[in-house]
Structure 1
Amino acid sequence: MLQKTYENIDSIGRAILSINAQGVHNKELAEVIYPSGEKAFAQVIALDGDQVTLQLYGGGFGVSTNCKIRFLGKPIEVGFSDDMLGRVYSGNGQPIDGGPELLSDMVRVAGPSINPVKRLIPKDMIRTGVPMIDVFNTLVRSQKIPIFAKAGEPYNRLLANIATQTDADIIIIGGVGLKYDEYHYFRERIEQAGSKNKTIMFIHTHRDSIVEGLMVPDLTLAVAEQFALQGKNVFVLLSDMTQWSDYLRQVANAQDQIPANQGYPGDLYSQLASRYEKAADIEGAGSLTVLGVTTMDDVTHPVPDNTGYITEGQFYMKDGYLELFGSLSRLKQQVNDRTRTDHRSIMNAMARLLSEAEERVKAQKFGSVKDDYSLRLLEYRKTFQKELMDPFRYLELEDALDICWDILAQHFKKEEVGLSSKLIEDYWPEQEEQNN
């Protein structure tokens, strides 16, 4: 159907424009036609009677009031196919790897989430090869969870490692505001590890339009959902959702929306939730798991604060390590009594002993740590940090659990670890105890 073309643009901002038009729908896609004949895309983001506000994919640079707007009568769509595997796309869904554009089997971007009636209770572990996750805060398929980290922490390196180590069928990486070296690190790491054939990347760099950055999570999740409906277990890795929220704030301010906390839009919670809630274990199909980086200075910042109410736990990265006590996977109890018989018990025992060791560290400052048990706790803490807390050391779950037993036997007697005699009989290393 021929769509009407409008002229006489009312106003142009950094990433938005407004125009009078009739019969337009929210989220509708539009073409911006330059006087030269070149075209760019925009999306309807607000309606006030006949006043239509659009987001400009390429930003406002070069757009003038004598440009024309043609509404296309459909929402934003992205091509979907198995041919996407191994490909790299920009924040507007265009290929940036030199390959062909996908123009068939188009699927809607930012559509509704999976019907709750079709969602299953999460029950299966998703492996990452990271001991601090797999052993102590196990991820479950269809879980949504963030990594909280300060800017400068090696969280993108961690995501790249997880992408190459996970047992998920398909990995989809969404990068928002990445530096070029971060983008190339993702590509090189995935190619070197031989994971390219099950990975798709949607990449927005810090020099691209902020509206393209806003599109990255929606494109990523739309494609992931289609693979999940085909029966695949899909793992979505997003970085960085704080940068994405900052772009959201810029657009909201350009629209003269009344700002909420620290200038963020009042619907920040809903905007974040609509993305994270795409995570689902789908009845009769596959699953979609979401792990997103949230950079922050402290947890009272609006983005991590809102994220914490949406997601099912969090991982804390500090000084290059994943913290045990600041991290929590609220769904780990769904699976870690079925991974290996000793998993839940040794996880609890190791955490309890590390907590005791942390108390001794505080007491040591006052010179009150002199007994043998306390000194062994302090040595246990050092071994724990060295063997298990490095997020870049790859270990299968079973190997990591065996190391946990070795660490216990190295520093404690059997009766000191608080584990059942049956588990000790089955798993305690056969070496002679150091502390007899």
Structure 2
Amino acid sequence: MLSIVGDILTIHASGVALGELAWVKNSDGTTSLAQVTEIDCERVSLQVFAGGKGLRSDARVSFLGHAAQVLFSDDILGRIFNGVGQPVDGGPELLGHRRVDVGGPSVNPVMRVVPSKMIETKVPMIDVFNCLVESQKIPIFSIAGEPYNELLARIAIQADADVVVFCGLGLIFDEFHFFRDTFENEGVFPRTVMFANRASDPIVERLLAPDLALKVAERFAVEQNKRVLVLMTDMTAFADALKEIGVAMERIPSNRGYMGDLYSQLALRYERACDYRGAGSVTLLAVTTMPGNDVTHPVPDNTGYITEGQFYLHDGMIDPFGSLSRLKQQVIGKVTREDHSAVMNTMIRLFSGARQAEQKQQMAFELSAMDHKLLKFGELFTQRFMRFDVAVPLEEALDLGWQTMAECFEPQELLIREKLLNKYYPAS
């Protein structure tokens, strides 16, 4: 053994692979699981899951000959696992079940299908204005204290998906029990798998948990043709774990203490989202908290280059102006109703006008008749669409959009094609 620095154990070894697991056994008989995190010729660094406290210089390391593995079968549905895939819900051990290797290369582009199907969440600000498309990878940008966990739970309950895989990173006690109790009370556990890394768990598990969740999602999609929705919170905790381990391994930081491979590490996980040719799909929705509400922070900044848009959550609501789904044009008007695009664009234009009318009102400018109509529309829009604690199917939401516009404006004021007005504008 060469050194023990924090949770990092460095030894001389040969014939081992990056990511391989090992048992570290003390002379007093205690054992800890570890994972190879760096190889420099025969100098091998391992991250000890249980921490370096109590490790002795005469400890022996036995390599297992394989990387991390995760259980996969229908029996994992309705179960809760920790960051290394061990059951933590008090249920029976899953002995004799198949294990699959975690990690591996990303999907062959030849096997990817161009996204063309929608996942309905019954959240109007998503379904109407920024559709979630199968195989999309999209973050929820927010700050600490915002109800992003409530939004994730609402999507898990209402989303039109066959399987939901939830991955919690650095969850505090209240957050863990909120998700568990919500899934149980709403009756969605039979189609849900939870991987929960809690704040008190070893930090290396925070790096492994997303890989376990994504591998399980991949197997459900490829082997069982399932439409899988993966929900993660919080990828900033994942990035902070990368930083902490990098510092312990004396790596040179790049930006604000984060390592230079932050982009690659995030992309390695996000790129697992895929619509498989001849099989199912994996769609990834992950919370990214922005320290100080700074979108230029390395974690949201790198995330924005990888993902296909973002949902921007602030003041307890999804912001229609800061949010963007780059794949929504793949489904709007093609798999959704013909008036979807007109309703979306017109309501956003009118809500923007309502914001401008509010500014005029605050500065005591004289308001026109149109300004008063816009203010009324802005109030109704906020009440009926910007809350996410309601369940509104897409077609009902589109009808509600027409009704809201009709309550505030005459048909000719909407600037919508006459064909659509004749068909959808409420007759009353």
1:81 aligned residue (63, 73, 90): 73
- How far off its partner does 1:102 sit? 4.8
- How far off its partner does 1:40 sit? 2.1
1:25 pairs with 2:17: yes
CA spacing shift, 1:140–1:102, aligned 2, 3 Å: farther
Q: Is contact 1:59-1:211 (8 Å) kept? A: no
**Structure 2 Cα separation of the partners of residues 283 and 38 of structure 1:** 47
Aligned length: 423
Q: CA RMSD in A?
A: 1.1
**Structure 2 Cα separation of the partners of residues 14 and 172 of structure 1:** 32
2:44 aligned residue (18, 43, 52): 52
Aligned equivalent of 1:317: 313
Aligned equivalent of 2:144: 151
Equivalent residue runs for 1:28-427 within 5 Å:
28-99=20-91, 100-230=93-223, 231-296=225-290, 297-338=293-334, 339-427=336-424
Q: Is contact 1:360-1:378 (8 Å) kept? A: yes
Q: Is contact 2:162-2:228 (8 Å) kept? A: yes
**Structure 1 Cα separation of the partners of residues 96 and 415 of structure 2:** 60
CA spacing shift, 1:369–1:227, aligned 2, 3 Å: farther
- How far off its partner does 1:103 sit? 4.8
**For residues 75-122 of structure 1, what are the alpha-carbon distances to aligned partners after superposition, in whole Å with 9 as ceiling and x for unaligned?**
111111110000000011100012213553211112211111100000
Task: For 2:211, give the aligned amino acid.
Answer: D
CA spacing shift, 1:170–1:102, aligned 2, 3 Å: farther
Q: Is contact 2:360-2:367 (8 Å) kept? A: no
- How far off its partner does 1:349 sit? 0.6
Report percent identity of matched pairs. Answer: 50
Stretches of 4+ moved more than 6 A in 1? none
- How far off its partner does 1:312 sit? 0.1
- How far off its partner does 1:368 sit? 2.1
Q: Is contact 1:79-1:102 (8 Å) kept? A: no
Task: For 1:285, give the aligned amino acid.
Answer: A
**Structure 2 Cα separation of the partners of residues 96 and 240 of structure 1:** 20
Q: Is contact 2:70-2:101 (8 Å) kept? A: yes
Q: Is contact 1:120-1:281 (8 Å) kept? A: yes
Runs of 5+ consecutive residues of structure 1 not aligned to the other structure = 1-8, 432-436
Other structure's SS at 1:65 match: coil
Task: For 1:396, give the aligned amino acid.
Answer: P
Q: Is contact 1:15-1:211 (8 Å) kept? A: no
**Structure 2 Cα separation of the partners of residues 396 and 36 of structure 1:** 61
Other structure's SS at 1:262 match: coil
Q: Is contact 1:360-1:369 (8 Å) kept? A: no
**Structure 1 Cα separation of the partners of residues 84 and 5 of structure 2:** 20
Aligned equivalent of 1:3: none
Task: For 1:310, give the aligned amino acid.
Answer: I
Aligned equivalent of 1:6: none
- How far off its partner does 1:15 sit? 2.3
With normalisation by structure 1, the TM-score equals: 0.95
